[in-house]
Amino acid sequence: MNDVGGAALRLSKVGKIYDGRRALADVSATFEAGRIAAVLGPNGAGKSTLLGILSTLIAPSAGEIRWGDERLGRGSALRARIGYVGHEPGLYGDLTATENLTLFASLYGVDDPAARAAALLGRVGLGDAPSDAPARTFSRGMTQRLALARALVHDPALLLFDEPASALDPAGADWLATELAAERAAGRVVVLVTHDLAAAAVADQVVILRRGRVVFDETRAGGFGVEAVRAAYESKTRDKTRDKRLEATGV
Amino acid sequence: MSDGQTPASPPALRPAGFFRQALRIAAKDLAIEWRSREVLATMTFLAVVVVLIFSFAFVLEGSRTPAPVVAGIIWIALVVSGTVGLARAFDRERDGEAIRSLLLTPAPRAAIYLGKLLATVALMAITEIALTALSGLLFSASMGAVLGRVALLLALGTIGFAAAGCIFSAALLRARGRDALLATLLYPIIVPIVIAGARGTTQLIDPIAPDFDGARFWTQFLFALDILFVTAGLWAFEPIVSGD
C-alpha cells in the first residue's frame, strides 16, 4: 500500500468543463494532513465537482492533483487511501450495520473484516445497535455514524465529507464536530464541503469557491470559528452588482 | 474519541483478488434478495403469468402444442421476467448512493460488473426452473430426455441476456423511466439470443424428429454470443459507470 500518511494534497490549476459549461477553473490549493479544510460556496460554485475530483470519481478536464509524490487519479493506487462521507450514506439499506462494514472491509482487502466491523461500530458509538436491523431502519444520526464507520473501514489517509451535517439534529452536529476533530488528530487530510457555516467553524483552513474559482483560501492555527467563517463567506460571495442595483433603487 | 471509545487500530490490508471481489458482490446481492425476495417473486410471477396466458391460447384438448410454440413461450417468458430483474439490478446501488461507495473501493469496475452479472444470472436461473417445469406440465412438452441440453441452452441464453442487460441497467442507473428505456434499448440487442435459444429449444423438444445437430449449432452460437456480450460488458462497464 502506498504510504501517503502525513502527505499534503496539492491541487494545481484544476478545471472541469461539463458539456461546454465550466464548473471549475484554475483551482489551486493545498490540503495539509492533520488539518480540517472546509470548502464553502454558494450553489453552483463547484464544491461537489471539486469533491468528486478529489475522490477520483470525476476526472478533471485540466490540471492535476498530487498527493505526496504521486499523481492522484482514477488509475492511481492511492484511491484505496480515500474515505468518503456524503450527505447520502453510501450504504446498502437492506444490509445490517455489520454486514455493510464487513462487505466494504472485504472489498478493501481488510485482513479480518468481521473484527474490523466490530471495532468500528464501537468506535462510532453503534456497538449497541440491533445486530439484525437493516441500515435503512436507522435514524439519520445513526446512519451518519455508520457512514463514517464505512468511510474509515480501510483507515484512509484522506477523508472527504460532503454536507455531512445536513439533517443532523444539534446532538448529531456536535458529534460530527467531535469526529472531525478526532480525524484531524489522527493526522488525516480532512476536506469538508458544506453550506453550513457552523459546521465549517471547526476548520483550520477555509477555501471559498465562487463560480468555479477560488476566491478565498486562508489557514488559521486554532481554527476559524463561526463568526470568522461567516465574515469571510459573506465578503467573498456577496453579489456586488446586485447590491449596487438594489442600492440604486433605494432598497 | 466519540462516546469514550478507544480508537480502532489500523487494519492490515491485503488486496482481494478479482474473482473474490466479484463473488463478494454477487453474494451481497443474493443475500439481500434472499431476505426480501422482492425481485425473485416478481420475476417468477411474471414468468408464470406469461406461460399461463399463452397456455390459454395454445393448449387445445387432445392435441400436443407444437414444439416451436412451446419454445417461443419459454423464451418470451424468460425475456419478460429477466427484464424485470435487470431493471432492478442496480436499484440497491442507487438507493443511498451505495454505488459511490462501491466505486471508491479498489475493486476493479469489471469485477463489480461480473458480480452483478453473476447475481442476475442466479436469479434468472431460479425463475427458469419454475418456468421450464410449468411449461413441460402445461404443454406436455417432451423435455425429460433432453433436459440437460435444454438447461444448457437456457443457461447460455441467460448469460448473454444478463451480460447485455447489466450494461444497460448500469447506464440507466439515474435515468427517469428506466424500465421502459431498458426494454427499448435491450431488446434489439438480444434478438439473436432469443432466436438462437428458441430455435435450439424447438429442435431439442420436437417429439417426432429432434434435431440434435441443429441444436448443437445454436448452442455453440449462443456460446459465441456470450463471449461477445460478456467481453463487451467487462470492457464497457468502466466508462459507463464513470460517466466518461
Across the interface, whether the CB atoms of A123 and B101 are under 8 A apart is answered no
Inter-chain contact A122–B8, Cβ cutoff 8 Å?
yes
Q: Which residues of B touch A1 (CB under 8 A)?
A: 13
Position A103 scores a pLDDT of 96
Closest partner residue to B5 (CB to CB) among A108, A125, A152 is: A125
Predicted pLDDT at A151: 94
- A122 reaches B (C-beta below 8 A): yes
Q: Hunting for cell 403469468 — which residue is that?
A: B49
Cα separation, A199 vs A192, in Å, equals 9
Average pLDDT over residues A8-35: 93
Is residue A184 predicted with pLDDT exceeding 50?
Answer: yes
Sort out which chain B residues have CB atoms less than 8 A from A171's CB and list them. none
Which single residue is written with the C-alpha cell 470492457?
Answer: B235
Q: What is the pLDDT of residue A201?
A: 85
> Across the A/B interface, how many CB contacts are shorter than 8 Å?
123
**What's the confidence (pLDDT) of residue A1?**
47
The predicted pLDDT at position B180 comes to 86
Contact of A118 with chain B, judged by CB distance below 8 Å, is answered with no
Quick: pLDDT tens for B165-192. Answer: 999 999 998 888 888 899 999 999 999 9
Give the minimum alpha-carbon distance from A154 to chain B in angstroms, rounded to a whole number.
6
DSSP H/E element including A80: none
CB-nearest partner of B3 from A109, A119, A125 = A125
pLDDT in tens, B82-102: 999 999 889 889 888 999 999
Kindly determine whether residue B11 and residue A123, on different chains, have CB atoms separated by under 8 Å. no
Nearest by CB to A154, which of B13, B32, B92? B13
d(CA A71, CA A68): 8
Residue in the structure block whose three cell numbers are 490540471: A63
Least confident of A11-25, A121-135, A223-237, B73-87: A223-237
pLDDT mean over A160-185: 85
For residues A130-141, one letter each, b for 16 or more C-beta atoms within 10 angstroms of the residue's C-beta and e for the rest, the string is eeeebbeebeeb
pLDDT level of residue A53 (50, 70, 90 thresholds):
very high
pLDDT the model gives residue B10: 62
Q: How is residue A95 written as a grid cell?
A: 444490509
Provide the sign of the torsion angle of the four alpha carbons B185, B190, B191, B194, taken in this order.
negative
* Chain B touched by A187 (CB under 8 Å): no
**pLDDT value at residue A175:** 84
| Residues in chain A within 8 Å Cβ distance of B103 | 57
Decide: B51 and B138 in contact? Cβ < 8 Å. Answer: yes
Return the pLDDT at A168: 77
* pLDDT confidence of residue B5: 42
Chain B residue closest to A186 (CA)? B7
Q: Which three cell numbers stand for residue B211?
A: 434435431
**Is A133 an 8 Å CB contact of chain B?**
no
Is A127 in contact with B13 (Cβ distance < 8 A)? no
- Mean pLDDT is lowest, of A23-32, A88-97, A141-150, A222-231, for A222-231
Q: Which residues of B touch A (CB under 8 A)?
A: 1-3, 5-16, 21, 24-25, 28, 31-32, 35-36, 92, 95-98, 100-107, 242-244
Name the percent of chain B in helix, strand, coil, to the closest 5: 80, 0, 20
pLDDT at A172: 81
Q: A31 touching B, CB under 8 A?
A: no
* Whether pLDDT at A247 is above 70: no
Query: In which residue ranges of chain B is pLDDT below 70?
Result: 1-10, 141, 243-244
Kindly state the average pLDDT of the residues A24-46.
Answer: 93
Does B96 contact A91 at a Cβ distance shorter than 8 Å? yes
Mean pLDDT, all residues of chain A: 88
Instruction: Kindly identify which residue of chain B lies nearest to residue A155, measuring between CA atoms.
Output: B10
The predicted model scores a pTM of 0.88
pLDDT value of residue B184:
93
Q: Is A84 on the interface with B (CB under 8 A)?
A: yes
Pairing of strands A213-219, A205-210: antiparallel
